[in-house]
Amino acid sequence: MEHNGNNANNDSVENRDALHLMGGLALMVLGAGLVMTHPGVRKAVSAGLSGVLPDLQGKFLPDLTALGPDIQRYMKLRSM
């Protein structure tokens, strides 16, 4: 089998393209997450989704009451 320098160059270009694609995808997900942290945007999106998916209404708002027992358990373990 003959090793060709051009083949190694093509692999490098393909790897770089894949890296750019994954990096771009990660930046899009990060950007969408940052946009969704704004309360006004979150309300607008949940209002828009309520007509299409009525089961999701209220799911975007955090339920802090469920965290109470977990926080108490953590504080108890930390004090030991």
Q: Say if residue 2's pLDDT is above 80.
A: no
pTM of the predicted protein model:
0.45
- The tokens for 61 are 């708002």
Kind and range of the H or E element at 80? none
pLDDT-based confidence at 56, cuts 50/70/90?
low
Residue with tokens 């309360």: 39
Residue with tokens 């979150």: 42
Domain count for the chain: 1
Q: Which residues have CB under 8 Å from 59's CB, separation 6+?
A: 46
pLDDT-based confidence at 1, cuts 50/70/90?
very low
Q: Say if residue 32's pLDDT is above 70.
A: yes
- Domain range for 59: 5-79
Q: What is the mean pLDDT of the chain?
A: 78
Compute the distance between CA of residue 79 and CA of residue 38 in angstroms, rounded to an integer: 35
Compute the distance between CA of residue 59 and CA of residue 45 in angstroms, rounded to an integer: 11
Q: Measured between alpha carbons, how far is residue 66 from residues 40, 52, 57 in Å?
A: 24, 27, 18
